[in-house]
């Protein structure tokens, strides 16, 4: 199964706080890295799935249903996703 690399830009409370990071890991985000750049919080994934759409879809509930996803980028070539 191919690995899809993508980033979800999210808003809300700080995901880098230890309890939040642990909760993300337990929710299935063990293939993700949480970060912040210029005040923008993101979760970068390397997720196995049949398609990019399936990979992103599976990551959104794990990253938190109350956490709106603002943007997603992905590509094996490094270009923007959709």
- Quote the percentage of the chain above a pLDDT of 90: 9
Q: Convert the pLDDT of each residue in 27-44 to its tens digit.
A: 888 888 889 988 888 889
DSSP per-residue letters across 2-55:
-EEEEEEEE-SS-TTSHHHHHHHHHTT-TTEEEEEETTEEEEEEEEE-SSHHHH
Q: Confirm whether 46 is domain-assigned.
A: yes
Residue 82 covered by a domain? no
In a domain, 81, yes or no: no
Q: Give the pTM.
A: 0.70
Q: Which of 32-36, 63-67, 73-77 reaches the highest mean pLDDT?
A: 32-36
**55 occurs within a structural domain:** yes
């Amino acid at each position: 199964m191919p690995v899809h690399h993508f980033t979800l830009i999210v808003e809300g409370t700080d995901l880098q706080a230890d309890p939040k990071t642990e909760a993300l890991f337990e929710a299935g985000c063990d293939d993700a890295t949480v970060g912040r750049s210029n005040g923008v919080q993101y979760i970068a994934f390397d997720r196995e799935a049949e398609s990019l759409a399936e990979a992103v879809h599976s990551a959104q509930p794990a990253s938190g249903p109350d956490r709106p996803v603002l943007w997603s980028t992905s590509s094996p070539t490094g270009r923007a996703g959709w």
